[in-house]
Structure 1
Amino acid sequence: MGFTLFVFISEGKSQGNRPIGTWNDFLPYGQVLKVAPAVDVVYAMTEYAVFSYYPETIELERHSIIQGLSESNPSAIAVAPFGTQDSHVLIIGYGNGNIDLLTEVGVYNMPDIVNSNLIGDKSIRDIFVDGPKAYLATSFGVVVIDVNSVEVSDTWYIQGQQELLGVNSVIKHDGKWLVATDSGVFEADIDHDFLASSEAWTQWSDLPEDPNTVVTELHFTSNRVFAHLGDGILGRLWVKEEGNWSLLDGWPAEGDKLWGLDSRGDTLLVGRCCDVERYDIHLNLIPETNAVGGWMQIRDVAFGPEETSTVWIASRIGGLVRFVAEPIEGGVVNANFYPSGPESAHARKLDCWNHNLWVATGGVDETWNGLYTSVGVTGLVDNSWIDVISLESQNIIPGIRDIIDVSIDPDNPSRVFFGSWEEGLLEVVNGEMVQIYNNSNSTIEEGNFGGSPRIGIGGLDFDRDGNLWFTNCFTNSPLQVLLDNGTFISMELGSAISLNENIGGVKCTRDGYIWVLLPRGGGVMVYDTNETPANTSDDDWRFLNTNENYGGLPSNYVYCIEEDLDGEIWLGTGSGPAIFYGSESLFNNDENTTASQILIQQDGNYQYLLETEAITSIKFDGGNRKWIGTKGSGIYVLSNDGLSIEHQFSTDNSPIPDDNILDIAINHSNGEAFVATARGLISYLGEATNWDKEMENIFVFPNPVDEFHNGPITVDGLAYQCTVHITDAAGRLIAEEQSMGGRAIWDGLLDDGTPAPYGVYMVFAIDGNGDKTASTKFAITR
């Protein structure tokens, strides 16, 4: 029998067209860590979310913080009966102790553990279900919850509250409660009156190793006990039969990692690194005639609820895997399933050009030491994820690591360049890596950093003429350009930047200047080519820092640079945003050579806007609003003049999985703002898009507006600063709106706050100069 791949299955809830103000996730669903089969559905848990697979309809459904889960760090899942006999609930435990109950009608949250006054680790490690009650193995004991009443009914402290003991699994067997812990196995009578007391628990003394050893797994069949002893990485799987312990036949004495254990009747299922093993009633290994293959990275295994011939596997490669041990003609086959998404959650930098989003997946730490991330090159092109096959590494370090910046060619969006912190400059065309530029085929030089010679590209950006500027760190040529004719040119900076000084990101402004970040408190360098990048003899440069004579920055720590639609240069510093009103003035020594900050009044006091925030990313949407990412406070969206905050998104009020924002990129064609965090990539469908001065293709979304639509009504394809009039069929004015970029938004309400009634409505648009007009119509059918 063959192997079938089902990756981009029809998903129960589409992530395509969606209302303004809604969120989307782009998480690595192909890396599954836990599996929980139920009748008619199989649940799979990843590091960041959960998804469900419905075998009958071959559909997938995402369950992430976007769809209502409370956290983005699930650590355990289990299925329990809920309400009526045919219903069930998925219990989701999190790394911080939070609990969600996922049902057909929504998510119920149980924050009892996370809100408790317990100090230290509260993580949920495993869940055992017995009827309507679930027994949560946690880092401090066992928490018992009733899923029907949605309440905590008991907490068991195995060695007392003064000596908290981590529990790895809970089992009910032969009139006893048994717990596998970080210090052996303990048991207690099921009918004991006070299981919360340590006096109820007795430690096993007959383990085949030290009774206080870590026990990561405990499992019972009709006449055997299975226990995995050790640190989990090099543990040993022991079998107890007729009072005697022995290693499972074939298990290495030096230990191995156990990736799941299950049984059905007397058939034992064991998860190993790259394959599953089934054992018969005599513990003989069952030969597999339909094996999936050794490509998996197994993390959990479970028999399906229907029969022992179907095994569900959680794999870090391939997602949720169905293994059919005994296939029948016309029956189900081996296959794997997961919702579409990137290969990894790593995303340091983003670049977007309409429906082309590319991700730099590597990283450096605060001191710019490489993280040795080798995820590779990935992009979202026309709503499909592309994982680019890398060329062979051309230095002594295996693989291509730490891709830390990306820039799309504006003249050819299918051509993308990436900067690697150890390999050099990477060129990708039409989803294929075609070239690595290094010291063997360009002016790029090796630097001696990170413990060995390597090529560090710290940043890159295309200028208005199609030339690619990039930094070549810790070399004699730290700033270089790849001209649009394919020629490499090194800027002659002399001793301005020494071999020991770092040089980072690049921003090319529309007035022809090159702004360069100097990490680790070095400020900024602004480079002037005198509009002749191929001729370095007439070039000039300036350094900006906190000195009033050299820019007067609020901080020497500058993390990002961006230019808004008015030509203002915004710098994201360790003490809020700073603004320059052009580049040329820096070289003319005129009055605009000092950075400006926005003074606002708050609670009767004057202060600089976001002066206590470290700004990690700044981007501008089609309405010239400022999207500002911070280190620790999420995202601020400022008005086009920067004087007011229109949105503030954080983990407290939005589905952002982490308040440390790494980067932001905006698809100006539809207003979608992509947000990179350490916990993955998400997006928000914003209110502003790019504009069309001719207004030849204006349209309304949704059209018609039916009873299922919940959100604003948008008019797209408008000119910049356009006025939109909405009338009913009789010509009565219903609403007047101003566009943000090329999009105007109407809340769908009349002046008295009631929803606009059933009918046909006309849209009339006129640009800011009164030169262009356009019209369309739409229907409300709710």
Structure 2
Amino acid sequence: MKKIPYFLLITCLVFLTNKLNAQTPIGTWQTYFNYAKAKQVLVLGNKIYCISENGFFYYDTSENQAITLSKIDGLSEVGIAKIHYVASRQSIIIAYTSGNIDILSLSSTNEPLEISNISLLKESTIQGSKGVNHIASKDNLAYLSYNFGLVVLDVAKQDIKETYQNLGDKGSSIEIYKTAFANDSIYLATSVGIRKAKYASNVNLQYFGNWSTLYPVKSTLSTWQNGILVADNSGKIFSYQNGKSTNLIDLSNKIDVLEILQANKYWVLTGTSSNILDLSQNTYSSFGNANIKAIKDLQVDAQGKYWLADYQNGLMSNSEGSFKSYSPQSLDTLYQNRKDSVVADTEGNLWIRGSVFGGILVKNSSNQQKYISTGIGYGNLPSSNVKTLVLDKDGQMWTGTDKGVVVFDSPSNVFSGSNFDAYTPIYEKRRLLGNETVNTIAVDGGNRKWMGTNNGLFLFSSDGTSLVSQFTESDSPLPSNEILYVKTDSKGEVFIRTSKGLVSYRGTATESTSLQSENTVKVFPNPVRPDFEGTIGIEGLVENAFVKITDIAGNLIYETQANGGTATWNGKTLAGKKAETGIYLIFSGNAKGEETLVNRLVIVK
């Protein structure tokens, strides 16, 4: 029999495993944000950028594809207040409601490249809201309008250059809503009307004395020719050029938004009425469509087509005829309905949290009831404020409260007359999360416990005595440390609902199987390519199986035990070195305790 060359054998296995390998890599995060509640849009050639309530994405008109951007891609956080394009730097300023600022540099085709962060404002001691109201730019400087004042950002140096506060008469504090530039002047729409100053290198804009009131009525503004347009609360729109004002139109409603679309063409929003003001034609006409429900922003592309942010239907456009949505599918409704309020134990008794008196009410099939509360002999809850209940694979009822976690190891004892008090797991010589509000607990395929608190997400061992992993907003793609609900599925996915949106994490544990063979066990990724630095998963094993990995000659390379139906390998030998290029054999004990070959793995370096 002719031998197949070793390199050819590897090539064949790479081809076959490529066709079979379609698993989500272990450690991968995914977002499920709301892209329907759109707030702002930027038209940059064939890339249309849009922010929603907790999402950020762009639509590529040449590829007919929407691409989402998030912390997974390098953004600092969620909750974007405004975005603004700085043409001189080919960059987008991303300003968050927290005061944090990202600068996203773009390619020549307006695709995302690098992200830089400026956290100075977020970390400052400035009081009040740090959510930006508006962003304008001139040359390499961006002017960010806040309720507390005006922040000048040097986009080229990626640093905050100056902060202007107390720009009202006699240095009084005023809120700044919008900034515009015309000729040699800078204009501000503020809480006391329109303020004006000369824009020149020898003028100190931090000094209130260099500012004057152009119009003492609360208004919004926009640029126009060599001057500005002003729209006030009474509905009047007038121009201001060369020191002279001219009334243009009087509307009956307060004007909320005045934005330039094209030369002499403006979008005017009065309450829920959207309109187009065309100064070249001297027309003012209604803008709307049955599909447009709650318009928040409007832009025009080079072909004259409209792109708008709608708070119900997301990014919308008439670029292909009638108006339709171009937003990615919003999946933030996954697992909105919690399943931890009424939980059945192994005897069919219903455990109900949050009764009228707090604590837990237990009911059996004979209509008996038992109230569980604080105190020895009554259940021994650390608090009557019960946040979550979950039954684990050993039949134990895990309970999260605003003072940590307790466990009922024999829930059926509730009606037996025996002691049914909960016990408290001990971690590092302390009550498990005793100082935390535990909002949610989920059990994965390895019977481990995922615990969501107001300070992040914790993964503990099956008995709660050792910490496996911990995730927070600062060290992971979690959008918030406030974890409201966690749900695991049989495939190892951990869904995490936070106060700022839903994300998922591909964990290391899945539900086990009763049978395992080369046909049912999946190894991923397979092949392992040179640039892979993650964790290799071996899925489809019997519960908590022992796994051995050998080279083609039978030498033991690594051994481990599965979590539920999945084992993991970091790609290193028992000696801690990276495994060399080659074919590796994976053996596992089956249900009878027999060690069998379950799969092959190819590593290419």
**Structure 1 length-normalised TM:** 0.69
Deviates more, 1:220-229 or 1:108-117: 220-229
Return the match for 2:203 from 190, 193, 199.
193
Superposed displacement of residue 772, structure 1: 6.9
1:148 and 2:137 are equivalent in the alignment: no
Measured in 1, the distance between the counterparts of 2:203 and 2:77 equals 35
Superposed displacement of residue 68, structure 1: 2.1
Instruction: Look up the match of 2:6.
Output: none
Superposed displacement of residue 614, structure 1: 1.7
Instruction: Look up the match of 2:65.
Output: 59
Instruction: Look up the match of 1:221.
Output: 224
SS of residue matched to 1:66: helix
Instruction: Look up the match of 1:679.
Output: 500
Return the match for 1:24 from 8, 20, 30.
30
Superposed displacement of residue 333, structure 1: 6.9
Gaps of 5+ in 2: 1-21, 106-111
* Residues 256/229 of structure 1: CA separation in 2 closer, same or farther (3 Å cut): closer
1:298 and 2:295 are equivalent in the alignment: yes
Measured in 1, the distance between the counterparts of 2:290 and 2:362 equals 55
Instruction: Look up the match of 1:265.
Output: 263
CA contact (8 A) 2:82 2:95 kept: yes
* Residues 278/202 of structure 1: CA separation in 2 closer, same or farther (3 Å cut): closer
CA contact (8 A) 1:218 1:227 kept: yes
1:523 and 2:359 are equivalent in the alignment: yes
Measured in 2, the distance between the counterparts of 1:649 and 1:274 equals 45
* Residues 639/286 of structure 1: CA separation in 2 closer, same or farther (3 Å cut): same
Superposed displacement of residue 247, structure 1: 6.5
Return the match for 1:171 from 160, 175, 180.
180
* Residues 625/517 of structure 1: CA separation in 2 closer, same or farther (3 Å cut): same
Measured in 2, the distance between the counterparts of 1:62 and 1:94 equals 17
Return the match for 2:516 from 695, 720, 743.
695
Measured in 1, the distance between the counterparts of 2:577 and 2:275 equals 60
Measured in 2, the distance between the counterparts of 1:689 and 1:675 equals 17
* Residues 78/254 of structure 1: CA separation in 2 closer, same or farther (3 Å cut): closer
CA contact (8 A) 1:127 1:170 kept: yes
SS of residue matched to 2:206: coil
Measured in 2, the distance between the counterparts of 1:611 and 1:158 equals 46
Return the match for 1:653 from 470, 475, 480.
475
Superposed displacement of residue 521, structure 1: 5.0
CA contact (8 A) 1:267 1:280 kept: yes
Superposed displacement of residue 336, structure 1: 2.9
Measured in 1, the distance between the counterparts of 2:24 and 2:86 equals 33
Superposed CA offset, 1:576-621 (max 9, x none): 1111112221222224x111001233xxxx3211111122111100
1:341 and 2:343 are equivalent in the alignment: no
Superposed displacement of residue 257, structure 1: 4.1
Superposed displacement of residue 279, structure 1: 1.8
Measured in 1, the distance between the counterparts of 2:455 and 2:166 equals 39
Instruction: Look up the match of 1:255.
Output: 254
> Number of residue pairs matched?
571
CA contact (8 A) 2:182 2:226 kept: no
* Residues 294/745 of structure 1: CA separation in 2 closer, same or farther (3 Å cut): closer
* Residues 41/67 of structure 1: CA separation in 2 closer, same or farther (3 Å cut): same
Measured in 2, the distance between the counterparts of 1:122 and 1:755 equals 47
The RMSD of aligned alpha carbons is 2.5
* Residues 334/552 of structure 1: CA separation in 2 closer, same or farther (3 Å cut): closer
* Residues 187/753 of structure 1: CA separation in 2 closer, same or farther (3 Å cut): farther
Return the match for 1:546 from 374, 385, 393.
374
Instruction: Look up the match of 1:425.
Output: none
Instruction: Look up the match of 1:666.
Output: 488
Superposed displacement of residue 158, structure 1: 5.0
CA contact (8 A) 1:240 1:246 kept: yes
CA contact (8 A) 1:699 1:776 kept: yes
Measured in 1, the distance between the counterparts of 2:280 and 2:434 equals 69
1:39 and 2:45 are equivalent in the alignment: yes
Instruction: Quote the sequence identity (%).
Output: 27
Letter in 1 for 2:469: H
Superposed displacement of residue 162, structure 1: 6.7
Instruction: Look up the match of 1:279.
Output: 278
Superposed displacement of residue 658, structure 1: 2.2
Measured in 1, the distance between the counterparts of 2:135 and 2:564 equals 50
CA contact (8 A) 1:623 1:640 kept: yes
CA contact (8 A) 1:313 1:323 kept: no
Letter in 1 for 2:131: S
Letter in 2 for 1:248: I
Letter in 2 for 1:611: G
Instruction: Look up the match of 1:135.
Output: 143
Instruction: Look up the match of 1:402.
Output: none
SS of residue matched to 2:325: strand
Gaps of 5+ in 1: 1-15, 325-330, 348-356, 361-404, 407-458, 460-504, 530-537
Greater RCO (Cα-Cα under 8 Å, separation 6 or more): 2
SS of residue matched to 1:565: coil
Instruction: Look up the match of 1:114.
Output: 122
Superposed CA offset, 1:102-142 (max 9, x none): 12332110011111222222221111122222111122111
Instruction: Look up the match of 1:749.
Output: 572
**Structure 2 length-normalised TM:** 0.88
SS of residue matched to 1:584: helix
Letter in 2 for 1:92: I
Instruction: Look up the match of 2:603.
Output: 780
* Residues 118/220 of structure 1: CA separation in 2 closer, same or farther (3 Å cut): same
SS of residue matched to 1:295: coil
CA contact (8 A) 1:224 1:239 kept: no
Measured in 1, the distance between the counterparts of 2:489 and 2:404 equals 25
Superposed displacement of residue 553, structure 1: 1.3
Instruction: Look up the match of 2:409.
Output: 581
Superposed displacement of residue 17, structure 1: 5.0
Superposed displacement of residue 263, structure 1: 3.3
Superposed CA offset, 1:704-733 (max 9, x none): 222343311101111101111122222222
CA contact (8 A) 1:521 1:557 kept: no
CA contact (8 A) 2:587 2:595 kept: no
Instruction: Look up the match of 1:311.
Output: 306
Superposed CA offset, 1:729-777 (max 9, x none): 2222221121001111111123444432222222111147515745111
CA contact (8 A) 2:267 2:274 kept: no
Letter in 1 for 2:425: I
CA contact (8 A) 2:480 2:499 kept: yes
Superposed displacement of residue 780, structure 1: 1.9
Measured in 1, the distance between the counterparts of 2:253 and 2:88 equals 43
Instruction: Look up the match of 1:101.
Output: 103
Letter in 1 for 2:218: V
SS of residue matched to 2:123: coil
CA contact (8 A) 1:261 1:270 kept: yes
Instruction: Look up the match of 2:535.
Output: 712
